[in-house]
Amino acid sequence: MHIQSFAYSQTEKIDVSVQGGKLEDVFQTINDKSKYKMFFSKSTLPNSTINIVGKKISVKDLLSQSLAGSNLTWEVLDNDIIAIKEKKENQQHIAGQVVNENGTPLAGVSVIIKDWQKAEYRNMQTSTATDVNGQWGLRIPNDDVIITFSFIGYQKVDITAKQLIANSTPIKLKPEEGSLEEVVVIGYGTTTRRLNTGSVASITA
């Protein structure tokens, strides 16, 4: 029965007109125009817009187009039910350390997967921060993702997970130009924030 249903899903074709719609609209079209009934959880569906218009589109192609770029896949079950489910990612764990230009560990550095808003990163941790020793760790879906390291007063660094895995050297953040040389006023003249250790007040326009 399972094999027959799967084979039939590849050949059954329907007319589709979903413009500016959601995945639910696609699934409803399949419910209305084919022998299949869609089984899914609304909470797992991305909020992306779907535009698919065509005649005689196979259910298989329709699902493939609709779910492209998401973390969802589908499976034909018995009784002509198509179940939508999340992909099982083979996540790997990467870790490292962040230091400043002098090699001193930096705590509180933001470590985040770039473009974390993408549907493929839904329901997974996409960010963390370094601890007091500058150490961090994060699970990633693949080694092609780009990791962004950012900290106030320092230049942001983007690096691929593949590079991080290949090189265990700590990430070194450099100060933003002028960020550590801010001119401040003191009671007996002017100095820079980098050189001064007493009470100061910043110059404002």
Under CATH, which number does the domain 2-86 receive? 3.55.50.30
Cβ distance 71 to 119 under 8 Å? yes
Q: Where are the domains of the chain?
A: 2-86, 92-172, 179-205
Residue 139's pLDDT band, with cuts at 50, 70 and 90, is confident
Q: Which two tokens stand for residue 109?
A: 């550095």
pLDDT at 122: 65
Q: Which two tokens stand for residue 139?
A: 């699970």
Residue 65: strand, helix, or coil: helix
Residue 147: strand, helix, or coil: strand
Q: Which two tokens stand for residue 27?
A: 């699934």
Q: Please name the residues in contact with 65: beta carbons below 8 A apart, sequence gap of 6 or more.
A: 52
* Cα distance between residue 30 and residue 16, in whole Å: 9
Going by CATH, does the domain composed of 92-172 fall within 2.30.30.230? no
Q: Taking residues 81-101, what's their average pLDDT?
A: 85
Place of tokens 């003191």: 186
Q: Is 110 left (phi over 0), alpha (psi -120 to 50) or beta?
A: beta
Compute CA 49 distance to the chain's CA centroid, rounded to the nearest angstrom.
18
pLDDT at 48: 85
Give the CA-trace dihedral at 75, 77, 82, 83, to 10 degrees.
-60
Most confident of 78-82, 133-137, 180-184: 133-137
